[in-house]
Chains A and B, each alone.
Chain A
Amino acid sequence: MSAQPRLLQVLNVLSVFLLVAAAAMVFVYAPIERVMGAVQKVFYFHVATAWVGMIGFIIAAAVAVIYLVTKDLKWDTINVAAVEISLVFFFIAIVLGSIWARPAWGTWWTWEPRLTTAAILEMIYLAYLLLRQGIEDPERRARFGAVYTIVGGLSVPLTFVSIRLFRTIHPVIIGAGGSEKMNMTGEMVATMLVNIAVFSVIFVTLFWHRIRLGQFAEKVEQLKLKLTH
């Protein structure tokens, strides 16, 4: 087993440090929102995790196309890594959103387009993992995974459009809070941008680790095959 590259070791430390710094910025530097109070602080993490989920989603779709063109299994490893990280971060974003929505909109869950689309995206990712689980041949698993990522990736924007249309024709029950823009001070915007940057670094670190894990898993599989033959 190869040791972690120097840059990855640096990223490990940096990620932890930055996460602490970002949290400190959220709790100390950013002012308390006048209407919503302290709970508004969850918003910074919510935006940042949703951002990371979005990046993972885009990478997964792009890498799926590359895999189908090149047929190089390393792209499949990257594909799974992106999907898994995106799955986790979208989940965190949904939970954080719920925590914020409860006091802000008066409910844990609303059928708001972004929220609903995120939930459906989670279901697509879970289906993707179930599909992979059911196929032993790594090459076929990679092909099916890539095809499903593409089909899912194309349906998500359409889902978003159709749900938004659904909402505009139906009146929103929970008042107009949904898409109303928040008035943010300069400190708030700065905190949000810093959080997005920090979580991007964390994403890179995790992504790298997950890809390495995938490579090790492949190696183990090959060694097992050697032993049995």
Chain B
Amino acid sequence: MSTDLSSLDSSDPNIRYSASPSVPSSVAYFRAVFAVAWKDLSAELRSRELLSAMLVFSVLVLLIFYFALELDVKARMDITAGALWVTFAFAGTLGLNRSMAIEKDRGCLDGLLLAPVDRSAIYFGKTISNLAFMLVVEAIVLPLYSVMYNVNLFHPGLLGVTLLGSVGYAAVGTLLAAMSVQSRTRDVLLPILLFPVIIPVLVAAVKSSSGFLTGAEMVEITPWVNILLVYDVIFIAVAFMVFDFVVEE
């Protein structure tokens, strides 16, 4: 079901997306990216197995934080950003693993690779859908955290940082998940591969989030946001260049 690529190209199965005469190649490329992302999202809309697992898991992590750290009013202000990002990072690996395992298990990845589109379009499509899953989880966890711990998290800066951090996380995570799913240890391997290289994102996201929450000066927050931006740009570019090598058979 998740390899239903006929919607990609229903009019003429012989059209090669990269060299179609009627459609400009850039438009065709974005259409392919969108098609890959959309197939993930629509499959998820029907099964809801991935999002529900990520959500339940996130809520459990928040509960565990309460008991493990005894989040009293004072501690809450200091560690809210950290607790949130640990939750996002852990829930994120669940989603990344699952979204790649689905492709691999049912032979869907091979189907995707056979599609006459640039391989990087598959990468961007998967990244966008993974990012969408993360954002949905975050959109539910943030208000939930606000209610459970009585902290107001609705700060535009915080939301922006959450987006930037999630972009970097999904960009690197999708690339590494595509590798780990092809190894023998599979889902065990992803967090081990991902966490050491995602540390700049986590440090910068935690520091800038807590900066916004505690109302720090913009001068203190800007360097962290810059790190997030630099990381996002570098790793999206790198993943774009090396994804071919990860799926090549």
Contacts and interface: CB of A to CB of B under 8 A. Distances in A.
Q: Do A and B come from one complex?
A: yes
A136 B186 CA distance: 13
Interface string B181-209: 01111100100110111111001100100
Q: Which residue of B196, B200, B224 has the most chain A CB atoms within 10 A of its CB atom?
A: B196
Nearest to A119: B196
Contacts of B198: 155
Interface string B223-249: 110010011001100100010011010
B223 A165 contact: yes
Contacts of B224: 162, 165
B200 to A, nearest CB: 4
Contacts of B184: 133-136
A148 interface: yes
Interface footprint category on A: 20 to 34
A148 B183 CA distance: 13
Contacts of A91: none
A120 B196 contact: yes
A216 interface: no
Nearest to B183: A134
A136 B220 CA distance: 48
B199 A162 contact: yes
Q: Is the interface of B mostly helix, strand, loop or mixed?
A: helix
B175 interface: yes
A154 B179 contact: no
B186 to A, nearest CB: 8
Interface residues of B, number: 35
A155 B183 contact: no
Chain A residues touching B, majority SS: helix
Interface in A11-34: none
B245 A166 contact: no
Contacts of B207: 165-166, 169
Contacts of A123: 195-196
Interface string A113-146: 0000000100110110011011110001001101
Contact of A134 (B185, B195, B230): B185
A161 interface: yes
B97 interface: no
A147 B192 contact: no
B182 to A, nearest CB: 7
B179 A148 contact: yes
Given A154-B234, A163-B203, A165-B227, A144 B179 contact: yes
A151 B238 contact: yes
Interface string A155-176: 1001101110110010000000
Given A126-B192, A130-B189, A151-B238, 8 more contacts: A120-B199, A123-B195, A123-B196, A127-B196, A131-B193, A144-B182, A147-B242, A162-B200
Interface of B: 172, 175-176, 179-180, 182-186, 189, 192-193, 195-200, 203-204, 207, 220, 223-224, 227, 230-231, 234-235, 238, 242, 245-246, 248
In the A-B complex, the 5 residue pairs with the smallest Cβ-Cβ separation, listed nearest first, are A134-B183, A158-B200, A155-B197, A134-B184, A123-B196
